[in-house]
Amino acid sequence: MTIDLTLEDPAWRALDLDSLANRAAWATLTHLGLDPEVCEIALLACDDDRIADLNAEFRDKPGPTNVLSWPAEDLAAETPGASPDLPEPDFTGEIALGDIAIAYGTCAREAEAQGKSLADHACHLIVHGLLHLLGYDHIRDPDATLMEALEVEILGRLGLDDPYRGQDGP
Cα maximum dimension of the chain: 45
Instruction: Quote the CA–CA distance of 56 and 50 in Å, as a whole number.
Output: 10
The length of the chain is 170
Instruction: Quote the CA–CA distance of 76 and 134 in Å, as a whole number.
Output: 8
> In this structure, what is the dihedral angle of CA atoms 2, 104, 73, 23, given to the nearest 10 degrees?
40
Q: Is 31 annotated in some ligand binding site?
A: no
End-to-end CA distance of the chain: 25
Q: What three-state secondary structure class fits 91?
A: coil
Known binding-site residue numbers for Zn(2+): 128, 132, 138
Binding residues: 128, 132, 138
